Structure 1
Amino acid sequence: MGGFLLLSACLSLLSLVALVRSLVTMTYLNIHFAHEVDPFSRAVSYYVFYGDGREEFATSVTVLALGTVLMLVGMWVAGIRFGGAATAFFGIWCTSLTLCAIFPTDNGKSIVSTSGLIHQIAGASLFVSLPLAGVSLARRLATDDRWARTARVVRRMAMVAMGLAAAYLATRLPDIFPTLAIPGVLDGRGISGLVQRALFGLEMLMLMALAMRLLRVAVSTARERREPARVEATG
């Protein structure tokens, strides 16, 4: 069991490094290309059309997917069983991130290429799949005293993320349905990029909360199991 706990702790650390790396890269893109890509009205996908944006964007989302996988493996090693729903939603999240890295969107309001279509479908899937994965996982974690508090935090984050995902979809309706008559006061395209970034950031924080709790559980469990061994050795 000590070896499994050590593996779980190592995986959680690697996951945290990957998640922080992804967050730093995305922050760099937001700051470095602030004049080229309006952070209030344009999605993060458009960074790929400027400077080193394509490489940095692909790196960010790929490392984010890797960090998620490392965290999930670490939780599984620690004895957490996700269930079919959470496993499926996490799988969609990681797959969608990878597809977004491989297939860039089109540089315009209309989607005219296969790559752009794949990117849009994957992008819509990833923003919905992680909140659903969080809710599904929180139900299972709530039955474990070591994870109960984190389960509540993850569930709240996931519910807020669902609201932001719905808000982001609403801001993009004029682009998705150009013929739809939407009053100017309800046209949210001017803040769609801001809503997307808030959603993306919240999802990263949700993953970090799980990875940090995994590290603490692995370390505390290892300490608890060493104490009886010390008592027996000194006795």
Structure 2
Amino acid sequence: MQRSGLRLGLVSLVLALVALVAAARALGLVVYLAVAFWSDVDPISQPLSMYVFVDGGGPPADSAALTLAAAMVALLLGMARAGVRLRGKPAAYLSAWAGCLVVATVFPTDRSPSVETVAGWIHQIAGAGFLALLAMGGWALVPRLREDPAWRPTAGVVRALTAWTAGLAVAYVVSRLGDWFPDLVDVTLGFDPGGLLQRLALTVDAAVIGALAIHLIRVSWPGLRPHGERGSDSAPSSQS
């Protein structure tokens, strides 16, 4: 039993570290793209998908999306190993969110302002899933975290970050109303913040993964300590 618990703790710890490093790498690539290709893609108004049309921008953009998707998969596997009850909506929504990142990478957007190809429509649908599904998964996950004493301390953080994710998704939709309904009043007053909102949403999503991965490290680490060492902290000292 002790050896089995040690193995489970080690697997969860490794998966947590993979998720944390992958999320940090994805954010690093987003920052690199914004700096290296500032003159080619406006990070305020243009989405990340535009980097595929810039020489040298496609591979790091694809890598950022796929790495963030891998971070979520590693996190879910690690949390499941640690005993968090993910079955149902949390696992479905969060897994679908990771899947949307993969689909959006495989099917590139159209270069024209309007969607003209099947691949472009698939990319748009996957992008909508990216904006919405993590918020839905986060809300579904919070009650599961609260029911587990070991995970209860992180429920408030996840709830707050999820609220930010939902707010950014709504703001992005509002910023696109002028594109979908040109006859409406320009809600952004000529300023297009779509690219910035997308990057902020990605940053907050990575923060959700990072917060959960850090807590997974905390709950997995004690399982790696020898049984005697864990017990010695609470065992009364012998008197001679």
Give the TM-score of the pair, scaled to structure 1. 0.92
TM-superposed CA distance for 1:145, in Å, is 2.2
> 1:140 matched to which residue of 2?
144
Whole-Å Cα distance in 2 between the matches of residues 69 and 2 of structure 1? Answer: 22
Would the aligned equivalents of 2:165 and 2:205 in 1 still touch at CA under 8 Å? yes
TM-superposed CA distance for 1:229, in Å, is 7.2
1:46 aligns with 2:21: no
In structure 1, what residue type is equivalent to 2:84?
Answer: I
Would the aligned equivalents of 1:109 and 1:175 in 2 still touch at CA under 8 Å? no
1:185–1:20 Cα change, 3 Å: closer
Q: CA offsets, 1:141-171, max 9 Å, x none?
A: 0122221121110011101210110010110
Equivalent residue runs for 1:1-235 within 5 Å: 1-178=5-182, 181-184=183-186, 186-187=188-189, 190-223=192-225, 225=227, 226-228=229-231
1:109–1:217 Cα change, 3 Å: same
Whole-Å Cα distance in 2 between the matches of residues 113 and 23 of structure 1? Answer: 29
Whole-Å Cα distance in 1 between the matches of residues 226 and 167 of structure 2? Answer: 40
1:185–1:126 Cα change, 3 Å: closer
The alignment covers a number of residue pairs equal to 232
In structure 2, what residue type is equivalent to 1:205?
Answer: A
5+ long unaligned stretches in structure 1: none
- Could you list the runs of 4 or more consecutive aligned residues of structure 1 that deviate by over 6 angstroms after TM superposition? 229-232
In structure 1, what residue type is equivalent to 2:230?
Answer: E
Whole-Å Cα distance in 2 between the matches of residues 188 and 158 of structure 1? Answer: 29
Would the aligned equivalents of 1:12 and 1:74 in 2 still touch at CA under 8 Å? yes
Aligned CA RMSD, in angstroms, stands at 2.1
Whole-Å Cα distance in 1 between the matches of residues 134 and 234 of structure 2? Answer: 44
TM-superposed CA distance for 1:46, in Å, is 0.6
Sequence identity of aligned pairs in percent?
35
In structure 1, what residue type is equivalent to 2:40?
Answer: E
5+ long unaligned stretches in structure 2: none
Whole-Å Cα distance in 2 between the matches of residues 107 and 189 of structure 1? Answer: 20
Whole-Å Cα distance in 2 between the matches of residues 19 and 197 of structure 1? Answer: 14
Would the aligned equivalents of 2:72 and 2:95 in 1 still touch at CA under 8 Å? no
The structure carrying a bigger helix percent of its residues is: 1
Whole-Å Cα distance in 2 between the matches of residues 60 and 141 of structure 1? Answer: 28
TM-superposed CA distance for 1:200, in Å, is 1.3
Structure 1 window deviating more from structure 2 (218-227 vs 160-169): it is 218-227
Give the TM-score of the pair, scaled to structure 2. 0.90
Would the aligned equivalents of 2:178 and 2:185 in 1 still touch at CA under 8 Å? no
Whole-Å Cα distance in 1 between the matches of residues 169 and 141 of structure 2? Answer: 19
Whole-Å Cα distance in 2 between the matches of residues 177 and 224 of structure 1? Answer: 63
In structure 1, what residue type is equivalent to 2:27?
Answer: L
Whole-Å Cα distance in 2 between the matches of residues 187 and 127 of structure 1? Answer: 23
TM-superposed CA distance for 1:202, in Å, is 0.7
Q: CA offsets, 1:1-27, max 9 Å, x none?
A: 111011100111111111111111111
Bigger Rg, which one: 2
